[in-house]
Amino acid sequence: MSTSTAHSHDTHALPPRPKELAMHFDTLHNQYQAGKLGMWLFLGQEVLFFAALFTAYAVYRGNHTEMFHVGQYFLDWRLGATNTIVLLFSSMTAAWSVRCAQLEQRRGLVLTIAITWLCALTFMVVKYFEYTHKIHVGSVWGDSFHIHNMADLPRGVVDWLYKHNPGLAQMQGEEQLAAVNDMLGKNGLGLGSFFAVYFCMTGLHGIHVLVGMGVYAWLFVRALKGHFNRRYYGAVDNVALYWHIVDLIWIFLFPLLYLIG
Amino acid sequence: MAGGVVEKPEGAYGGSTRNYLNETRGIKNWIITLDHKRIAMMYLVAVTLALLLGGFFAVALRTVLWDGAVRDPNDLILGMRVEQMYNKYFTLHGAVMVFMFIIPGIPASLGNFILPMQLGTKDLALPRINLMSLYLYWIGATLFVGVLAFGGLDTGWTLYPPYSLDRQTSIPLILALSAVFILGFSSILTGLNFIVTMHRLRPPGMGMYDMPLFLWALYATSLIQVLATPVIGLTLALAMVEHMFHIGIFLPQYGGDPVLFQHFFWFYSHPAVYIMILPAMGVQSELIATFSRKHVFGYKAIGWSSIAIAAIGFIVWGHHMFVAGQSPAAGLIFSFLTFFVAIPSAIKVFNWVATMYRGSIELKTPMLYGLAFMYLFGIGGLTGLFLASIANNVHLHDTYFVIAHFHMVMVGSTLNAFFGGVHYWWPKMTGRMYNETLAKIACGLVFLGFNLAFMPQFVAGTRGMPRRYANYADEFTTFHQISTVGAYVLGAGVLLQVIYLTYSWFKGPRAPKNPWGAASLEWQADSPPDFHNFTKPVIVMAAYDYENWEYDPNTGGYELRKEVVESGRSLATAHH
């Protein structure tokens, strides 16, 4: 509370205020706690944001179990697992960066932030290859789902097709492809809905990774400039919290999409 | 002159002529300000414009309904069939009012201004987030103006697919979806900021139970804003993707599920009606206690009932879908849970009435709005129970009964509390008094117009008049025409307010520090407050200890008693 009538800086009678302290807080600790509470509330908001998608997932999987069973064959669990490890590792370096900031280890701080950023980049590169492959195969969302080539189909899908339509073996070329698309597309299994769920969930998560890369780049610059010290490191802490929830959401996405066979 | 206030030279009431309004000048200093008071005033102007825009569409649609029984369906106005125009009017009326006026209305304008001051602090905890929330509101509002420019929508504000997603022109649809998405994030940021501020910036000596009940109500509102709004954000994003890429999530022809949209939509939009009403209830608690000059009755009951309403509000959304193919079991559960909302709501009303009991009631304009609130909320709340019971609901679903019910709550209650709050805090916010006589006339017009507009709709609804139709059977003519007259009277009342309030801002007599004798901390600041809110140390006291203030005929307002100023403590320490 102000005890002075001065208008611009009302602190000349008091001990000097740290330059990082905003005018409406009395201590850096309180300011840090306010920022942190704000971040936790934001994370609560994030959970609800994704909750709608997880609900959609549950509704569609409950109504179309087989669609999810077959759709899962299109996803490569090895790429998913790689990304899981990359993200888990980056969560460790993110937590480490907070510790470095608390201990005022500037080189360590810059390094851990850089590694976290590079992990995020790696994740997005792997995602890029996964997405382009699916677009190449034609295993995409809703109305656009259309397989272009039998040879692209994963083993599990081929087995399922032959099991449900032994006559497929006698067909060839276009005729066979048309029959396959009939079985997998909206007239049959409706895999388009599975891929709608897949692309929406991983896409929204991917957007969060990109945002994370943006804020880590900002932190990197600030860390290089030496903005942080043991009393003022809220930004590092809060970004790490955000990064952990991005990681946590992936921890749920990976088994729910890749490992349900 | 209003309230017996005598014109005084500048600086007579606070010792300083500088305040947040004239601290710096120029439009740039307003646009990039981090000051919660300036942001609040910009919000107040913006939501008032939204109210006028939404009100324009309301009057327009009521005008169409004047002769709905005898119209030739082939009549053209401005090259458009009347029915088509009507469909756009009610859609835009609903969307503008809900997303741009009622939801941000009280929290972002009055709440933004008053919350830090009731805590005796200088600003909200996160001023940059506050400014960002205002910017997002502006962006959302601009996109919505784009919707109008590109021909509007006729989906209803609920945007139900499939009609909304595969039978609309792309540009206005996408603009509308992004507008609501962005307005949603504006709302989330406001709520987040409020919660942090109430936890971290309460002054020493003020516990949660010492906060004014307005803040409890804002706390409950903020919880809903933070936890429910993201769901509609995601839903609208999915709707947009569905419209553009046909991903098969809400549109049945691509394998999607339109009822899933309804669940998602109401998971937000039902709690959202509590985003609308809870802040209004908070204002109401302040008005009733102040103008009864009595410590509010049942403080904890009122405070916790806000939290209870917020919590129960999350699990009743299915009552919007009793006839949408929901299972009977789900219908039964949602019906049962819906009745529970009535309990905390009734607790509030009874406590307000008990606060007035043997109080020394002063019928100033804000109190008149408070009384109107109680009367209209009583009707709106009780008719909600009719709709909560499934058998009744099947009969009344999508009739004018529903329209009348939710207007009683959303307009009758929230709009009245907004007006009451604006009048109550107007002297603090602008430093000027409005004209009490004109204000009472406007209040009377609003009350009369509102009742004329919506009471007949209850009857028309029970007799089977469905909502969202431009034409109707002969038997409904009288109801519709009374209702249309009411809409005009209500509109006149609102316009009158805008006129005399704007006038008073520039020419009104200067307001004393505390014209009402209210006891919460914002009244210890000058009117209008200093840039840093308080120029003297705030004496922290419970929000309803009115005996600390005494009337001072020299200023026409109330001043802290000498004993209080000297001891720096409230006279009453063991009151609640």
SS3 of B404-456: the string is: HHHHHHHHHHHHHHHHHHHHHHHHHHHCECCCHHHHHHHHHHHHHHHHHHHHH
Give the minimum alpha-carbon distance from B3 to chain A in angstroms, rounded to a whole number: 29
Burial class (CB in 10 A: 0-12, 13-18, 19+), A18: exposed
Helices (H), A64-141: 65-71, 77-102, 106-137
Chain B residues inside the 8 Å CB shell of A22: 127
Beta pairing partners, B558 = B551
Going from the N-terminus, what domains does chain A have, and what CATH number goes with each?
Answer: 57-258 (1.20.120.80)
B247 to A46: CB separation less than 8 angstroms, yes or no: no
Token digits of residue A72: 């899962």
pLDDT, residue A186, reads 85
By C-alpha distance, which of A33, A251, A212, A211 is closest to A113? A212
Q: In whole angstroms, what is the distance from residue B321 CA to residue B327 CA?
A: 10
User: Is A129 in CB contact (< 8 Å) with chain B?
Assistant: no
pLDDT, residue B17, reads 76
| E-strand stretches of chain A | none
**Among A115-124, B65-74, B538-547, where is mean pLDDT lowest?**
B65-74
Q: What SS3 class is residue B399? A: strand
**Which residue carries 């697992």 as its tokens?**
A81
pLDDT tens digits, one per residue of B25-43: 889 999 999 999 999 999 9
pLDDT, residue A90, reads 98
Give the minimum alpha-carbon distance from B193 to chain A in angstroms, rounded to a whole number: 7
A38 to B201: CB separation less than 8 angstroms, yes or no: no
pLDDT tens digits, one per residue of B113-172: 999 999 999 999 999 999 999 999 999 999 999 999 998 899 999 999 999 998 888 999
**Which residue carries 């409230």 as its tokens?**
B570
Find residues 477-536 of chain B whose CB sits inside 8 Å of chain A: 530-536
Residue B11 has pLDDT above 90, yes or no: no
Find residues 437-466 of chain B whose CB sits inside 8 Å of chain A: none
- The rounded percent of chain B whose pLDDT value lies above 70 is 96
Find residues 63-122 of chain A whose CB sits inside 8 Å of chain B: 63
Residue B356 has pLDDT above 90, yes or no: yes
- Taking residues A223-250, what's their average pLDDT? 96
- Mean per-residue pLDDT over chain A, rounded: 92
Chain B residues inside the 8 Å CB shell of A42: 192
pLDDT, residue A81, reads 97
User: Is A50 in CB contact (< 8 Å) with chain B?
Assistant: yes
CA atoms within 13 A of residue B104's CA, in its CB half-sphere? 40
Residue B473 has pLDDT above 90, yes or no: yes
Give the minimum alpha-carbon distance from A249 to chain B in angstroms, rounded to a whole number: 15
Residue B574 has pLDDT above 70, yes or no: no
Chain B residues inside the 8 Å CB shell of A59: 257, 260
Q: In whole angstroms, what is the distance from residue B376 CA to residue B395 CA?
A: 23
pLDDT, residue B218, reads 98
Nearest CA in chain A to B540: A1
Q: Name the strand (E) or helix (H) holding B552.
A: strand B549-552
**CB-nearest partner of B247 from A45, A63, A196:** A196
Residue B239 has pLDDT above 90, yes or no: yes
B227 to A48: CB separation less than 8 angstroms, yes or no: yes
By C-alpha distance, which of A67, A75, A72 is closest to A189? A67
Token digits of residue B392: 């009744």
A52 to B122: CB separation less than 8 angstroms, yes or no: no
How many helices (H) and strands (E) chain A has is answered by 8, 0
Q: Say if residues B515 and B523 touch (Cβ distance below 8 Å).
A: no
Confidence of residue B13 (pLDDT cuts 50, 70, 90): very low
Q: Which residues contact A127 (CB under 8 A, 6 or more apart)?
A: A83, A202, A206, A209
Which of B245, B247, B524, B539 would you mutate first to test chain A, the one with the most A CBs within 10 A?
B247
Residue A191 has pLDDT above 90, yes or no: yes
Chain B residues inside the 8 Å CB shell of A46: 230
Tally C-beta pairs within 8 A across A and B: 147
Count of residues in chain A: 261
Give the minimum alpha-carbon distance from B364 to chain A in angstroms, rounded to a whole number: 32
Q: In whole angstroms, what is the distance from residue B192 CA to residue B182 CA?
A: 15
Burial class (CB in 10 A: 0-12, 13-18, 19+), A169: exposed
- Mean per-residue pLDDT over chain B, rounded: 93
**CB-nearest partner of A37 from B199, B254, B255:** B199
Confidence of residue B245 (pLDDT cuts 50, 70, 90): very high
User: Is B226 in CB contact (< 8 Å) with chain A?
Assistant: yes
CA angle B394, B400, B402 (to 5 degrees): 60
- Taking residues A103-118, what's their average pLDDT? 97
pLDDT, residue B573, reads 57
User: Does residue B10 or residue B504 have the better pLDDT?
Assistant: B504
User: Is B230 in CB contact (< 8 Å) with chain A?
Assistant: yes
Going from the N-terminus, what domains does chain B have, and what CATH number goes with each?
Answer: 2-567 (1.20.210.10)
> Is beta strand B80-81 parallel, antiparallel or unpaired with respect to B557-560?
unpaired
User: Is A10 in CB contact (< 8 Å) with chain B?
Assistant: yes
Chain A residues inside the 8 Å CB shell of B533: 2
Burial class (CB in 10 A: 0-12, 13-18, 19+), B155: buried
Residue B15 has pLDDT above 60, yes or no: no
How many helices (H) and strands (E) chain B has is answered by 19, 4
A45 to B230: CB separation less than 8 angstroms, yes or no: yes
Residue B10 has pLDDT above 70, yes or no: no
B246 to A34: CB separation less than 8 angstroms, yes or no: no
- Kindly list the distances between the CA atom of residue B198 and the CA atoms of A24, A100, B33, B208, in Å, as whole numbers in the listed order: 13, 31, 22, 8
One-letter amino acid at A131 equals Y
Residue A10 has pLDDT above 50, yes or no: no
A51 to B231: CB separation less than 8 angstroms, yes or no: yes
- Taking residues B81-103, what's their average pLDDT? 94
Chain A residues inside the 8 Å CB shell of B536: 3
Residue B108 has pLDDT above 50, yes or no: yes
**Which residue carries 């020419």 as its tokens?**
B507
pLDDT, residue B16, reads 52
Per-residue 3-state assignment (H helix, E strand, C coil) for B54-81: HHHHHHHHHHHHHHCCCCCCCCEECCEE
Give the minimum alpha-carbon distance from A52 to chain B in angstroms, rounded to a whole number: 6
Chain A residues inside the 8 Å CB shell of B260: 56, 59
Q: In whole angstroms, what is the distance from residue A211 CA to residue A227 CA?
A: 21
pLDDT, residue A14, reads 65
By C-alpha distance, which of B368, B512, B517 is closest to B437? B368
Q: In whole angstroms, what is the distance from residue A10 CA to residue B20 CA?
A: 16
Q: In whole angstroms, what is the distance from residue A36 CA to residue B196 CA?
A: 9
- Taking residues A179-200, what's their average pLDDT? 92
Find residues 166-195 of chain B whose CB sits inside 8 Å of chain A: 188, 192-193, 195
A186 to B188: CB separation less than 8 angstroms, yes or no: no
By C-alpha distance, which of B32, B33, B40 is closest to B421? B40
**Which residue carries 């991917």 as its tokens?**
A206
Chain B residues inside the 8 Å CB shell of A2: 122, 532-535, 537
Give the minimum alpha-carbon distance from A256 to chain B in angstroms, rounded to a whole number: 18
pLDDT tens digits, one per residue of B541-565: 888 989 999 999 998 999 999 999 9
Q: Say if residues B124 and B181 touch (Cβ distance below 8 Å).
A: no
**Among A6-15, A21-30, A83-92, where is mean pLDDT lowest?**
A6-15
Rg for chain B (alpha carbons), in Å?
A: 24
